[in-house]
C-alpha cells in the first residue's frame, strides 16, 4: 500500500522499505541527520499509514471506557489520551491515542498501522454497547511535525497558534488551501510539536508547505531512533499481546480505579502475584549496538532480553529497551550479549538523550566520548 505522499518520497530520493505492507520512507538524507534535525529544529514525518478508527454514539463513552485502560468517559472535547486496548489476559492488543472530537460523543482512535484491522475487529467483536465504529483510515493522511521549531513552523505555514495549544490537546483548524485539519499537540519523538490529520487530497500540498517552511523530511528510521531515545515503546517489539502495561512500566496509562475494563482483573491478579519482569532502559558503555533478541546478563546469569536496540545519534552510545528482572537499580552494571561479545552496559532510565538540543551544542560521539 502507498500513502498519498508516496510520490513525494520518491521525488525526494527516499529509500523505501516495506513496513507492514506499506511502502514507507526509511530515510531521505540519512537517519542521523534527520534525527538531529528533529532534536535541534524540526522534522516532518509521513505517518499516513497509521490507522484511524472513529467511535461515536451515545454509548461510545461507556464502550471505550470498557475497552481501554483510561477514563475516556471523563475526557473533555479537544483532549487526547494515550491508552491501551487489552485482551482478557491483560496483554496489549495495541497502544493508541484517543482524541475526543467536537460533537456529542465522537472519538478518533489513532492506532498502529500493523494493528488497524485487528483493532477494528477486536472493537467490533466486543461492541455490547452498540457504539458506531468505523475504520476511517482511508479518509485521513497524517503528518507528524516534530521538534523545538515545529510549533513555530505550524503557525507560519498554517496560521495556527500551535504553541497556544496545550500538550495532549487537539483542535480542528479550517485552512483555505488544505481544508479542515485536525491538529494535535502530540508526538512520538519527545521533541514537541504537532501531529496533523488531513484530507488525503490535501496531503501533498500540506507536506510541501511544511518543507518550504523549514521542516526536514524524516523517515521511519529516525522515527524509531527518536522514540527509542525517549524510551517510548513500540507495539510489536517492546509491547505485545503477551506483555502487560504493568510489565512495560506504563502504569500511568492504566486507571485501575475507573471501574471494570477489559483486562483489568488480569492486571489486578498480576499485581497480587508480583510483576516478574520490567521493561527497562539499558545503555551500552562499550562500543557496539544492541539488537532485539540480545540476552542481558548480570554476573554471568541471564536477567533479561532486549526488545529494541539501536545507537543514539546524540550520545553515540548503544541503547536498548529490555525486559529485565525487577529489582535492578539505576546505574547497575550489566552485560549485553551482542553476537559473540559481552558488552559492558548499565541500567538507565530513559530518556537516553535530551529531547531537544541547541544548534551547535556538542554531541558525544564514538570519537569524542
Partner 1 sequence: MDTLIPEGLFYTKDHEWARVEDGKARVGITDNAQHELGDIVYVELKPAGTTVKTGDALGTVESVKAVSEVYSPVGGVVAEVNVELDGSPELVNQDCYGKGWMVVIAFEGAGPSKTAGIMDAAAYKEYLAKEAK
Q: Which residues of the chain form contacts with partner 1 (CB under 8 A)?
A: 13, 15, 26-27, 30-32, 221, 225, 287-289, 291, 310-311, 313, 316, 339, 365-368
C-beta closer to partner 1: residue 146 or 225: 225
C-beta closer to partner 1: residue 332 or 337: 337
CA distances from 144 to 23, 88, 182, 233, 267 (A): 17, 33, 12, 17, 33
For 117, the 3-state DSSP assignment is helix
Contact 79/61 with Cβ under 8 angstroms?
Answer: no
φ, ψ (nearest 5 deg) of residue 277: -155, 150
- How many CA atoms within 13 Å lie on the side-chain side of 83? 26
- How many CA atoms within 13 Å lie on the side-chain side of 232? 16
C-beta closer to partner 1: residue 272 or 339: 339
**Strand pairing report for 43-46 and 106-111:** unpaired
C-beta closer to partner 1: residue 106 or 291: 291
CA distances from 142 to 48, 52, 168, 206, 275 (A): 4, 10, 16, 10, 37
Place of cell 527518536: 226
Concatenated DSSP letters of 181-225:
EEEES--SSSS-EEEEEE-GGGHHHHHHHHHHTTPEEE-HHHHHH
Q: What ranges in the chain are assigned the alpha helix state H? A: 6-11, 31-40, 60-67, 116-125, 150-158, 203-212, 220-230, 264-273
Can you tell me the distance from the alpha carbon of 369 to that of 37, in angstroms, rounded to the nearest whole number? 21
C-beta closer to partner 1: residue 178 or 188: 188
C-beta closer to partner 1: residue 190 or 245: 190
C-beta closer to partner 1: residue 14 or 153: 14
C-beta closer to partner 1: residue 33 or 240: 33
For the bound state, the minimum distance from the C-beta of residue 295 to partner 1, rounded and expressed in Å, comes to: 16
C-beta closer to partner 1: residue 30 or 179: 30
| Residue 151 DSSP label | H
| Residue 305 DSSP label | E
Edge-first strand order for the sheet with 216-218 is 170-175, 179-184, 193-198, 141-146, 43-46, 216-218
For the bound state, the minimum distance from the C-beta of residue 30 to partner 1, rounded and expressed in Å, comes to: 5
Amino acid at each position: 500500500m502507498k500513502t498519498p505522499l508516496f510520490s513525494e518520497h520518491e521525488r525526494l530520493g527516499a529509500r523505501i522499505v516495506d513496513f507492514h505492507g506499506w511502502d514507507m520512507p526509511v530515510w531521505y538524507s540519512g537517519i542521523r541527520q534527520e534525527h538531529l534535525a528533529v532534536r535541534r529544529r524540526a522534522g516532518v514525518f509521513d505517518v499516513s499509514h497509521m490507522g484511524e478508527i472513529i467511535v461515536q454514539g451515545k454509548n461510545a463513552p461507556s464502550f471505550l471506557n470498557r475497552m481501554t485502560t483510561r477514563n475516556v468517559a471523563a475526557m473533555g472535547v479537544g483532549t487526547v489520551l494515550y491508552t491501551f486496548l487489552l485482551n482478557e489476559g491483560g496483554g496489549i492488543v495495541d497502544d493508541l491515542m484517543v482524541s475526543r472530537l467536537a460533537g456529542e460523543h465522537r472519538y478518533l482512535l489513532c492506532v498502529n498501522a500493523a494493528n488497524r484491522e485487528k483493532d477494528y475487529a477486536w472493537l467490533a467483536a466486543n461492541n455490547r454497547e452498540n457504539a458506531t465504529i468505523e475504520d476511517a483510515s482511508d479518509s485521513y493522511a497524517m503528518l507528524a511535525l516534530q521538534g523545538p521549531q515545529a510549533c513555530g513552523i505550524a503557525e507560519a505555514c498554517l496560521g495556527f497558534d500551535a504553541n497556544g495549544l496545550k500538550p495532549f490537546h487537539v483542535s480542528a483548524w479550517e485552512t483555505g488551501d488544505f481544508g479542515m485539519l485536525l491538529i494535535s499537540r502530540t508526538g512520538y519523538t519527545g521533541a514537541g510539536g504537532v501531529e496533523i490529520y488531513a484530507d488525503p487530497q490535501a496531503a501533498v500540498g500540506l507536506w510541501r508547505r511544511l518543507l518550504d517552511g523549514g521542516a526536514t523530511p524524516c523517515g521511519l528510521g529516525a522515527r524509531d531512533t527518536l522514540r527509542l531515545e525517549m524510551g517510548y515503546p513500540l507495539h510489536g517489539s517492546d509491547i505485545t499481546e503477551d506483555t502487560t502495561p504493568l510489565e512495560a512500566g506504563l502504569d500511568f496509562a492504566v486507571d485501575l480505579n475507573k471501574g471494570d475494563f477489559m483486562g483489568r482483573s488480569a492486571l489486578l491478579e498480576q499485581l497480587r502475584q508480583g510483576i516478574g519482569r520490567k521493561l527497562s532502559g539499558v545503555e551500552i558503555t562499550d562500543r557496539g549496538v544492541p539488537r532485539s533478541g540480545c540476552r542481558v546478563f548480570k554476573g554471568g546469569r541471564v536477567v533479561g532480553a532486549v526488545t529494541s536496540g539501536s545507537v543514539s545519534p546524540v550520545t553515540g552510545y548503544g541503547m536498548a529497551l529490555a525486559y529485565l528482572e525487577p529489582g535492578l537499580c539505576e546505574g547497575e552494571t550489566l552485560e549485553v550479549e551482542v553476537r559473540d561479545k559481552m558488552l559492558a552496559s548499565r541500567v538507565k532510565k530513559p530518556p537516553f538523550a535530551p529531547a531537544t538540543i541547541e544548534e551547535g551544542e556538542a554531541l558525544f560521539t564514538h570519537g569524542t566520548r
